[in-house]
Amino acid sequence: MRSLKTPATTLERTRAISKNFFLHIHAAKLDPYVLKPTFTFGLGVVATSLFLILITSGIFLLFYYTPSIERAYFSILDITYVVSGGRFLRNLHRWSAHGLVFISLLHLARVFYTGAYSRGRGLVWYSGMILLLLVLSFSFSGYLLPWDQLAFWAVTIASNIANATREIGVPAFMDPGRFLKYLLLGGDQVGQATLTRFFLLHVVFLPITTLFMLGYHFWRMRKSDGLNTPGSMSAATGSETSGDPVSDNMPNTKWLSWPVLIWAELSVFIVTLALVLLFAYLIDAPLRAMANPTIPENPAKSPWYFLGVQELVSYSAFSGGIAIPLLLLAGLFLIPVFDREDKQPGTWFSGTEGLRITILSVLFALPVAIGAILLSPVTAPAFRGQPLLTMLLNPGTLLTILYIIWALLLGRKYRSRRYSALALFTVSSVGFVVLTVVGIWFRGTDWQFIWPWGL
Amino acid sequence: MNRREFLNRMTFGTLISGGALLTAAALKIPVPQTGFAARRYNLGDINKYPLNHFTFLPEKNIYLFRDRKRIKAVSAICTHLGCVLRRSDAGFRCPCHGSKFNDRGAVISGPATRDLDWYRVQQEPDGRIFVIEDQTVAPEDFLEI
């Protein structure tokens, strides 16, 4: 019963952290700045909480779900209407999944804007980017499983996007897009083999990979002495501490992680849990008609977080579905390589100058994005029958080029790569949000423009 | 070469060549050896398809056009990203990304960049009429009957 006693002395509190299997992922001491709610908004903890909720609810759904194209849809109906508490569990799983995508994106933005990737924390950033890709893969593989209309057409379209590499004339035997398409589909169209593969991905491969990557993400944070705060003392390569919390020479201004940090994290977890439970209780997860390989819905829309890409793809399959998303991902991955200035880490926007640049970038990106999208009814018929022009000259590529020029100009003016990165990240995010909003609310039948209020 | 060197080389040689072979196999296994079946459909009694009209054949994802003397068949799969096209007043439209095609299957508006495929329609000596998806033809190539 020794472990139940509340630790009283500094030594006992340090030991409580370092000896406990679950707590030792935290440093024994922390900079009190970390606990400032407006510094992190607890987004990393929220994301982890949602992941735990997803694993738990997912295990229960597995009791009844059947991955067969004849049975899958009806097993979801069973879960919804027959299984005790099944509808609630499915709602919980679905809303936590949407929440995890949303929170992961916010977490990415928070980490970027507070410069948390600097001072030798590159590996935390890279593992975080891989986790983001894993979260998106989870969502993508997860929405095939109910085998409804959304599932069938989203995966059909996505696999053809991968295969859009043929547009640039790659020979079939060495075409990575074609390989990926056949790897995912297990054939030339979506069928039983596809469902089996996505099921395998969703419940075996991705959970194992994510758990390992999450462990690595936490361990790298731990080795970097926790979050990147303005007062953080670790040098660019100084992630090597002896690992012994008592002998580590820490400034006296630090607090002990036990109990303050642990309780703070627990309360974030509880609030998260309460919110998704409330959501799951109040709002039912949608289920469309059963998959019909001959008639797509009109309009056939993917989930909200892919609607930005769908909007881009409606300009050109290759540049919108492959080139621009890959460019965006590569840009995000390389931020710690591009910006090594360590300009005021742990401070939002690296100070007031950075904030000014961010606001300017929003003001630039917003009208440019809307203008480019309004060009689409002009460019689409104009370049008909000219594959190369359609690929190179469309609203998506136009936006990309203007945004890159903007970031380069600002970087040059301020002679700072951090400010250039701030500008590029901001304009890209604004572009992404505008495309997504247009995809959600301003596209109707046959993917034509509509007013969301139905004028 | 002494014994230690020999064993070292054997160990790493086995690991590297075995690893390479297994990787190659692992990349090969998930990609199916899909042999594509010859895609020929017997249309059956053609009088069941209305005259001067594009009829959608749901199982095959093609539109069949017939008038008094001629038959032709066009693919209903969008050349952009594979959605099934719906019939509109003056052609075909994609519900997923908004591409438009005219009655000849030509692109009127992107994102699609390639015209629709027209399939060979062929009459056998015994009178049965087949659509042959493996052979594409020009939009003017009707089967005269």
pLDDT band at A1 (very low <50, low <70, confident <90, very high): very low
Buried b (16+ CB within 10 A) or exposed e, B27-48: eeeeeeeeeeeeeebebeeeee
Using the predicted structure, report yes or no on whether residue A93 has a pLDDT greater than 80. Answer: yes
Judged on CB neighbours under 10 Å (0-12, 13-18, 19+), B141 is middle
Q: Which residue has the higher pLDDT, A226 or B66?
A: B66
Judged on CB neighbours under 10 Å (0-12, 13-18, 19+), B124 is exposed
pLDDT of residue B61: 85
pLDDT of residue A110: 94
- Average model confidence (pLDDT) across chain A: 87
pLDDT of residue A181: 86
Using the predicted structure, report yes or no on whether residue A266 has a pLDDT greater than 90. Answer: yes
pLDDT of residue A37: 86
* A183–B95 C-beta distance less than 8 A: no
pLDDT of residue B8: 95
Q: Which of A33-37, A385-389, B4-8 has maximum average pLDDT?
A: B4-8
Using the predicted structure, report yes or no on whether residue A245 has a pLDDT greater than 60. Answer: no
pLDDT of residue A370: 93
Handedness of CA A397, A400, A401, A403 (dihedral sign): positive
Distance CA B7, CA B134 (A): 57
Using the predicted structure, report yes or no on whether residue A215 has a pLDDT greater than 90. Answer: yes
Per-residue model confidence as pLDDT tens digits over A290-327: 888 888 888 888 888 888 998 998 888 888 889 999 99
* DSSP classification of residue A310: H
Residues of B in contact with A293 (CB under 8 A): 61, 84
Residues of B in contact with A164 (CB under 8 A): 81
Using the predicted structure, report yes or no on whether residue B95 has a pLDDT greater than 50. Answer: yes
pLDDT band at A5 (very low <50, low <70, confident <90, very high): low
Minimal CA separation from A163 to chain B, in Å: 9
Using the predicted structure, report yes or no on whether residue A78 has a pLDDT greater than 90. Answer: yes
- Average model confidence (pLDDT) across chain B: 85
Q: Which one of B80, B83, B114 has the shortest CB-CB distance to A153?
A: B83
- CA distances from residue A220 to A27, A254, A381 in whole angstroms, order as listed: 11, 20, 51
Q: What is the mean pLDDT of residues A340-349?
A: 85
Using the predicted structure, report yes or no on whether residue A45 has a pLDDT greater than 90. Answer: yes
* B32–A193 C-beta distance less than 8 A: yes
pLDDT of residue A357: 93
Per-residue model confidence as pLDDT tens digits over A432-445: 999 999 999 998 88
Per-residue model confidence as pLDDT tens digits over A381-433: 887 777 788 888 889 999 999 999 999 999 999 999 999 999 999 999 999 99
pTM attached to this predicted model: 0.89
pLDDT of residue A246: 47
Minimal CA separation from A21 to chain B, in Å: 35
Q: How many beta carbons lie within 10 A of that of residue A392, not counting itself? A: 15
Residues of B in contact with A391 (CB under 8 A): 113
pLDDT of residue A232: 56
Judged on CB neighbours under 10 Å (0-12, 13-18, 19+), A148 is buried
pLDDT of residue A247: 43
Tokens of A41: 């908004």
Q: Which one of B31, B98, B114 has the shortest CB-CB distance to A182?
A: B31
Q: What is the mean pLDDT of residues A140-150?
A: 91
Q: Which helix (H) or strand (E) holds A352?
A: helix A352-374
pLDDT band at A240 (very low <50, low <70, confident <90, very high): very low
pLDDT of residue B97: 86
Residues of B in contact with A313 (CB under 8 A): 81, 97, 111
Q: Which residue has the higher pLDDT, B44 or A242?
A: B44
Q: What is the 3-state secondary structure (H, E, C) of B37-96?
A: CCCEEECCCHHHCCCCEEEEECCCCEEEEECCCEEEEEECECCCCCCECEEECCEEECCC
Per-residue model confidence as pLDDT tens digits over A170-181: 777 778 888 888
Q: Which one of B58, B81, B84 has the shortest CB-CB distance to A317?
A: B81
